[in-house]
Structure 1
């Protein structure tokens, strides 16, 4: 959420299952955007809330335990947050559990 790097430091940034746990995912994604050079790419592998209502029922039940034990949320809308951060191009691919686990590539 508060990286000590200068603006536009990196050509690429990679994260895996980070934005389900940090307290303020919007702030964290904005930091990724800030440290990424213009034209740079951010690659995210994240689990998040599904677009499927039935799957979300299961995620809501599991979330009770994951929040308590692991401090992680299964119901965040990480792809939406990435898109709102200002990236010029965002592509998303469902990689596991229907659309719960996604590979997202975002370009600044």
Structure 2
């Protein structure tokens, strides 16, 4: 387990915002195309951890090749919606109120880690990715469906300008440089698919040590 202690004030502020906006996020979840979720999650097998499981909207898309699914989220109100989603399906799911930056799992515990629209709101995204790196088994995969800052010059600048307003409204950063953050956390992106311009992307990643023998 990690010894990292996240800044409580920042984490608590974001947690309160997500608790307050949980009903809104439940409706917004449906803005992401179901086919995007299905294509991402069909690659899952074995012991799976979903970071930021939120309202549980991904649960119906997990294939039968998944042995166990653990879902964590730091918002108890979001988890209330997730429990309702679990109750509608026979798939065994363990839900836990936990922080992505300080996961309570032993190293090399999971075959796959999944995130969908999560790393826009993790206070320290590199620390969160470091934790995922730690809990993934050798050869394990990090599967992501994330929105991020556009690499198009003008659009990227515009996203930087309006990001403070976006954070105040929703708690989500729209200008996260997720590809750079993955590199800092020693991940290699083996597959990258642009789904909405270059803002929404499907990513298939592995630990750098699993691809070239070094961290």
Q: TM-score, normalised by structure 1?
A: 0.90
Q: Which has the higher contact order (CA 8 A, sep 6+)?
A: 1
Q: Tell me what 1:46 maps to.
A: 146
Does residue 58 (structure 1) correspond to residue 120 (structure 2)? The answer is: no
Q: 1:64 to 1:88 in 2, by over 3 A?
A: closer
Count of aligned pairs: 107
TM alignment of 1:10-89, pairs within 5 A: 10-89=110-189
Instruction: Give unmatched runs, 5+ long, in structure 2.
Output: 1-100, 208-215
Q: Which has the larger radius of gyration?
A: 2
The structure 2 residue matched to 1:100, chosen from 193, 199, 206, is 199
Cα distance in 2 between the residues matched to 1:80 and 1:73: 15
| Structure 1 runs of 4+ with >2 Å offset | 87-91
Cα distance in 1 between the residues matched to 2:137 and 2:109: 6
Cα distance in 2 between the residues matched to 1:64 and 1:45: 23
Q: 1:57 to 1:34 in 2, by over 3 A?
A: same
SS of match in other structure, 2:123: coil
Post-superposition shift, 1:88? 4.6
SS of match in other structure, 1:91: strand
Cα distance in 2 between the residues matched to 1:60 and 1:27: 22
Q: TM-score, normalised by structure 2?
A: 0.47
* Most deviating of 56-65 and 75-84: 56-65
Cα distance in 2 between the residues matched to 1:58 and 1:47: 15
Q: Deviations over 1:50-105 (max 9, x none)?
A: 11012123323432321111111111111121122112553211111x10111111
* Most deviating of 86-95 and 50-59: 86-95
